[in-house]
Every structure is written in C-alpha cells, then in structure tokens.
Amino acid sequence: MTDISASISFSREDWRLFFQGRFHQSISLTLSEAYSKIFKFCFDLGLLSDTKNSLASVSYLDVNDLSDTTKLVYLRHRSIFKHTSGAVRECTLYQMLNLYFRENRASTSPNKNSELKTMLRLCKELENISNTLKMGRNINSHMQNEILDTGFTLQICSSVLRLYEIFDYEMVSALNIDQLRSQAYSVIIDGTDHGSHKTNDEPVVHQTFENSPAKFNSSSGKAEPHSVSQNETPEEIDGEVEVPLDGNVRSVELQRQKLHKIKLEIYSFLQAEVTSFDRKMTLLYGSNLSDILAVEPKTIEDLKRVLSVKILMARNGELITSQIARFGNKIVDVFK
C-alpha cells in the first residue's frame, strides 16, 4: 500500500487567517450577499407571506461578523405554505423552495424547473459552507491550542474557495476576492509536496482590504445589520423531497477556472508544435484571459474582436490563428 501520509501536512495554523481582521469581514459580507440573492429569488417567486417582517428579521444582522452571517441559512420566515391545521408554515429559504418545487414541478416549465433546481443546489451548498465556516470561526475563537489537522485545514480552505464559485458578488471587490482565493490556494500548496510548482500567473499577495458598505432592502436584495438568536435551527418539513441537483452552477470564477485549464492545454500544444514561444503570446496568458473573461465571447468572431486578441494578432497572426483554430471553440463554449 502506498504511503501518502506525508504528502499533505501543515506546519502553521494559516487557516486562522480567514477568521481574523479583513478576511473575516469579507467572508462575512460574502455570506450575507449570497443569502440575499436566494432571499430575492424567493421574494420574486412570491413565497414570503410577510415580506415586511421577513426583512425586519434580518434588519439587525451584523454583516461583518461570521457569528451572525453563518446562521442566516437557518432563519425561518413566514411563507405562503400552510400546515394541515391551516397555520402558516415558518420555513428556511431552502424549505420554501423545496415545498414550491414539490407542489409545482408537474406544472412548471422545464426551464423554470432547471432554474429552481439550481437555486436549491446553491441553497444546500451555502448551508454546508456556512456550517464549516461557523465551526472554523468558533474553533478559532475558543480553542487556542495548535490545530494543524490536514482534513480540517483543507475543509476550511475548500469552503472559502467554493463560496466564491457559487455566485458572483458585488459587496466585496474583485481584488479582495482574489486575495482570499490566493490565500486559500497558498495554504493548500504550502501543505503539499508540490509547493515548488507554483506559477507566476497568479502570485499570492496580502494587501489591505477595502469593502463596500452592505445594506438590505426588498428591491436590491442586499443585507444590513441584524442579530440572530442562538437557538435558531431548521424545522423539519414532512415529505421534504430530495431534489435532483442537476442544475448548472455558473459564475465568473468557474469560467476563469475553465479558461485556466484551456490555457494549460495551449501551453502543451505549443511546446509540442513550436520550437520556442513566449507565453505572453498565448491567448489566455495573464491579462489576455482577463479581457476574454470580461467580454464573454460567444462565437469565434466575438473572440477575434476582443482587444487583447487583436493586439496579439497584430504581433504574430500565424501563432494566434493556430491557437484560435485549435482552441477557439473550447474558449467560446465556456460562455454558452
């Protein structure tokens, strides 16, 4: 049996950085915004029977504190659904969506069902992420003995990374998100035997954060300060169904990851086909990838119209044309 016990190990408690200072604040703001997106989805479906009180129930949330925002997924709101006794059900957002899906899936269009399944999946993922981050926050606050457990450290890092894959965000700047993501990658890489394989494409940086203020209202779906009671737990709903999680999760971060994989394929292709080449002259190097990500080309012609691609074509048309011919369809498929 292969010994892999030493392949991942940690010598520093870098996982604690996510629960301190600006990292803590930014993750908390992100959880608040993710919840607000799901809240707005439920509001748009008309699933909240008392929107005013639902908004009031989150009006005292401290969006900068994970001890509050990790509990959001367990908040119950008065819904349009009723118990057999006729009393109004108070449900979490996931429970509302689950009930709605169960009662309307036969009469709802395939596209709407797919959208609903996707949101149910995102609800469940946000719940799992919140639980992990709540545990990490509490352990960081109350346990000061050294904790270098491999599984625990990876669990915290993967939760941070997944949080920024399931939605696109506005409350926290792209720079701050990049720093959080880079920190998570850095912790993982430092704990493996592959730390020497870091690339210079995305250097790990630790800079001061600047966060936007957060508010919550019915039109914007954003959250403002709120306190959550300590005994809030999800209420079981009789007959709750396991919804097939076949909805596609889409975000800029997942598109970036797909482009990064294609970039590595381009490098391998050019290394095999070209004697020598400058990586800066590849379609998805550095700012070229960022430009394509911003434009989101849906066709090869759209791809050719991206400014950075035009500049590359002017410098070495033959090299760029060969890359587009081989990888252009893969690139534009990312945005379809």
Which pLDDT tens digit goes with each residue over 229-263?
444 444 455 556 565 555 577 899 999 999 999 99
Three-state SS sequence of 46-85: CCECCHHHHHHHCCCECCCCHHHHCCHHHCCEEEEEECCC
- Assigned domain for 227 exists: no
Give 31's contacts (C-beta < 8 A, 6+ positions apart): 66, 69, 70, 72, 126, 129, 130, 133, 163
7: helix, strand or coil: coil
How confident is the model over 326-331, as a mean pLDDT? 96
Q: Give the C-alpha separation, 44 to 309, whole Å.
A: 40
Strand partners, 81: none
236 belongs to a structural domain: no
- Single residue among 134, 162, 197 that ends a domain in this structure: 197
Instruction: Say whether pLDDT at 223 is over 60.
Output: no
Q: Are residues 265 and 138 in the same domain?
A: no
Residue 323 domain-assigned?
yes
pLDDT tens by residue, 80-109: 999 989 999 999 999 999 999 999 988 989
Q: What share of the chain has pLDDT > 90, as a percent?
A: 68
Same domain, 167 and 276: no
Tokens of residue 94, six digits: 């996931």
In a domain, 6, yes or no: no
Predicted local distance difference test score (pLDDT) of residue 249: 79
Side-chain-side CA neighbours of residue 176 (13 Å): 21
Same domain, 61 and 164: yes
SS3 202: coil
Task: Give yes or no: residues 43 and 167 share one domain.
Answer: yes
Residue 177, domain member (yes or no): yes
Instruction: Compute φ and ψ for 301, nearest 5 degrees.
Output: -65, -40
Percent of the chain, pLDDT > 70?
82
Judge whether residue 201 has pLDDT over 60.
no
| Same domain, yes or no: 102 and 191 | yes
Across the chain, how many H-helices and E-strands are there? 12, 2
Measured distance CA(224)–CA(229) in Å, rounded: 16
Q: Specify whether 170 is located in the same domain as 54.
A: yes
pLDDT at 227: 39
Q: Which of 197, 216, 233 is the last residue of a domain?
A: 197
Is the residue at 228 inside a domain?
A: no
> Do 307 and 185 share a structural domain?
no
Domain interval for residue 26: 14-197
Owner of token pair 């975000």 = 251
Of 169, 197, 225, the position where a domain reaches its end is: 197
Residue 287 scores a pLDDT above 80: yes
Looking at the structure, tell me whether residues 145 and 63 fall in a common domain: yes
pTM summary value: 0.78
Pairwise CA distance, residues 302 & 287, whole Å: 17
Residues 152 and 65 placed together within one structural domain of the fold: yes
193 part of a folded domain: yes
Whether residue 37 is found in the same domain as residue 161: yes
Q: Do 94 and 183 belong to one domain? A: yes
- Assess if residue 85 is contained within a domain: yes
Task: Note whether 165 and 279 are same-domain residues.
Answer: no
Provide DSSP, 137-163: HHHHHH--S----HHHHHHHHHHHHHH
Provide the domain count of the chain: 2
